[in-house]
C-alpha cells in the first residue's frame, strides 16, 4: 500500500528532487536504447550475411563434390573443431558474445590412399565450421540485444508514463494544498485582527 502523500513543503522538496532526477536519468536511458537498437540492426545484417555465406558455401561444396555420396571413402572425423575462444563485449551494460579464435583440426590422411577431391572437402568443411560458429554467435548477439532493448523500453515507459507524471501530479497537488493553506492563514489572520480590533474598541467604550 502506497504511503499517503504529505501536503507540506518538505514533501514538495522531495517530489521536486525526484522529478529532477527522473528527467535527468531518462535521456541516458533513451541514448542507451538507441545504441542497443543500432547494434541490433548491425547484428541482424551480420547474421543474414553469414547465413547466406554458409548456405552458398554448403551448396557450392555439394555441387562441386557430388562424389561425397560415395560412402566407400571414409570422411567421418576428418575435420573437427579442436578449440573455440569466445570473448565478451560490454555495450552499455549489455554483455554480448564475441568469437575471438577458432582452431579446426584435420586428421592426417594419405594423399595416395584417398581421392584428390578430399582436399577440397577438407577446405570446404573448415570454412563451414567457422561460418557456423560465427552464425551462432551473431544470432546469440541478436537474442541478447532484443532482450536488452525490451528491458530498457520497459524502464523508459516506467519513467515516461508512470514516475514522471506521478511526480508532476504530486507536486501540483502539494502546491495547491500549500496555496490553499496560505490563503486560509491570511483569512484567519484578518479575522483575528478584526476581532482584536473589535475587542479593543469595546474595551475603550466600556472605559468611557
Structure confidence by residue, pLDDT tens digits, 32-43: 999 999 999 999
Q: Which residue has the cell 568443411?
A: 125
Report yes or no on whether pTM surpasses 0.85. no
Q: Are 104 and 132 in contact (CB under 8 A)?
A: no
Q: How far apart are CA 97 and CA 77, in angstroms?
A: 28
Range in 27-41, 60-74, 117-131, 136-150 the model is least confident about: 60-74
Please tell me what DSSP assigns to residue 113: T
Alpha-carbon 19 to chain mean position: 23
Find the mean pLDDT for residues 187-192.
73
What SS3 class is residue 110?
A: coil
How much of the chain exceeds pLDDT 90, in percent? 50
- Who has greater pLDDT, 151 or 186? 151
**Chain segment 78-109, per-residue pLDDT in tens:** 677 788 999 999 998 899 999 999 888 877 66
Half-sphere exposure of 126 (CA within 13 A, CB side): 12
pLDDT at position 115: 60
Buried b vs exposed e over 17-37: b needs ≥16 C-beta within 10 Å?
Answer: ebbeebeeebeebeebbebbe
- Element (DSSP H or E) covering residue 95: strand 94-106
Coil, strand or helix at 8:
coil
Cβ-based neighbours of 124, under 8 Å, separated by 6 or more = 57, 60, 61, 64, 65
- How buried is 77 (Cβ within 10 angstroms: 0-12 exposed, 13-18 middle, 19+ buried)? exposed
| Nearest residue to 117 via CA among 57, 69, 55, 77 | 69
What span, in angstroms and rounded, lies between the C-alpha atoms of 118 and 57? 16
Distance from C-alpha of 138 to C-alpha of 143, rounded to nearest angstrom: 9
Amino acid at each position: 500500500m502506497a504511503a499517503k502523500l504529505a501536503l507540506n513543503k518538505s514533501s514538495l522538496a522531495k517530489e521536486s528532487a525526484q522529478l529532477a532526477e527522473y528527467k535527468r536519468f531518462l535521456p541516458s536511458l533513451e541514448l542507451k536504447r538507441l545504441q542497443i537498437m543500432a547494434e541490433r540492426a548491425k547484428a541482424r545484417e551480420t547474421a543474414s550475411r553469414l547465413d547466406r555465406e554458409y548456405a552458398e558455401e554448403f551448396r557450392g561444396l555439394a555441387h562441386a563434390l557430388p562424389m561425397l555420396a560415395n560412402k566407400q571413402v571414409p570422411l567421418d572425423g576428418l575435420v573437427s573443431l579442436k578449440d573455440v575462444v569466445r570473448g565478451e563485449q560490454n555495450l552499455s551494460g549489455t554483455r554480448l558474445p564475441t568469437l575471438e579464435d577458432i582452431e579446426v583440426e584435420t586428421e592426417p590422411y594419405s594423399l595416395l590412399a584417398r581421392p584428390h577431391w578430399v582436399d577440397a572437402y577438407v577446405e570446404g568443411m573448415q570454412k563451414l565450421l567457422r561460418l557456423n560458429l560465427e552464425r551462432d554467435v551473431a544470432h546469440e548477439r541478436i537474442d541478447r540485444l532484443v532482450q536488452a532493448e525490451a528491458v530498457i523500453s520497459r524502464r523508459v515507459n516506467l519513467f515516461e508514463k508512470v514516475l514522471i507524471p506521478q511526480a508532476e501530479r504530486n507536486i501540483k497537488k502539494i502546491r495547491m494544498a500549500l496555496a490553499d493553506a496560505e490563503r486560509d492563514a491570511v483569512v484567519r489572520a484578518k479575522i483575528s485582527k478584526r476581532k482584536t480590533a473589535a475587542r479593543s474598541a469595546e474595551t475603550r467604550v466600556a472605559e468611557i
